[in-house]
Chains A and B, each alone.
Chain A
């Protein structure tokens, strides 16, 4: 079967670093995506990993280990505007996105 899991909620301090983990199980895999979704808005694309390793993009980095079915999103130098839900999703063998429930990130001053 397929499943994907991420924490429901996390809290971090402005200026700090936070890592949001995502684990998944699937027989067919075509990449792992991270999206950011602010309340009341549609998701926006953050990153895509299809090979193992770390992809860095400014303050945000995403890591993938296919053998472990594990990914994380790393946010550095946190800003208040980073308060949002972060959705991980993997693409299965049919190129369908399977979504996690999202992690609500709360940034405190």
Chain B
């Protein structure tokens, strides 16, 4: 199967600071990557769809100025949580769509963010 990495796996930060999370597709080129957030015991919530070379498409209710997404290359997308607050504490998961064949999304291992 395809491999997607995410870094860091875990981060603790102070309220008001910014945190950058990287998502990389290691063995394929991903023109589209997705960013999800998952709160405890809840399902995945799509935050935004990231397309290489263009602006991300944000889901309703997700602040694009707070959650900055950059998809600079076919293998890397970054999510920056700006001015993080305790309510932003969550499990952030990226996925990458492998082109051709089945439109399967392969997930990164996730980043657990704790904002103090």
Write the residues of chain A forming the contact surface with B, with a CB cutoff of 8 angstroms. 30-31, 33, 35, 40-45, 48, 87, 91, 95-97, 99-102
Count of CB-CB pairs between chains A and B under 8 Å? 44
Binary contact track B33-44/A, C-beta < 8 Å → 1, others 0: 010000000111
Q: What number of B residues sit within 8 Å (CB to CB) of A?
A: 21
Of B34, B44, B91, B97, which contacts A87 at CB under 8 A?
B44
Docked complex Cα distance between A99 and B103 (Å): 15
Docked complex Cα distance between A43 and B109 (Å): 8
Write the residues of chain B forming the contact surface with A, with a CB cutoff of 8 angstroms. 1, 6, 34, 42-44, 46, 49, 91, 93, 97, 102-110, 112
List chain B residues, Cβ under 8 A from A43: 44, 93, 107
Residue of A whose beta carbon sits closest to that of B102: A48
Q: What's the nearest-Cβ distance from chain A to residue B33, in Å?
A: 13
Docked complex Cα distance between A99 and B108 (Å): 17
Residue of B whose beta carbon sits closest to that of A4: B43
Q: What's the nearest-Cβ distance from chain A to residue B106, in Å?
A: 7
Of A45, A87, A99, which contacts B1 at CB under 8 A?
A45
| B42 in contact with A95 (CB, 8 Å) | no
List chain A residues, Cβ under 8 A from B102: 31, 48
For the complex of A and B, list the 6 residue pairs with the smallest distance between their C-beta atoms, beginning with the closest: A42-B107, A42-B110, A101-B43, A42-B93, A99-B44, A102-B43
Q: What's the nearest-Cβ distance from chain A to residue B100, in Å?
A: 13
List chain A residues, Cβ under 8 A from B104: 33, 45, 48
Docked complex Cα distance between A31 and B104 (Å): 10
Of A40, A91, A101, A102, which contacts B103 at CB under 8 A?
A91
List chain A residues, Cβ under 8 A from B112: 40
Docked complex Cα distance between A75 and B63 (Å): 40
Docked complex Cα distance between A97 and B109 (Å): 18
Docked complex Cα distance between A97 and B103 (Å): 10
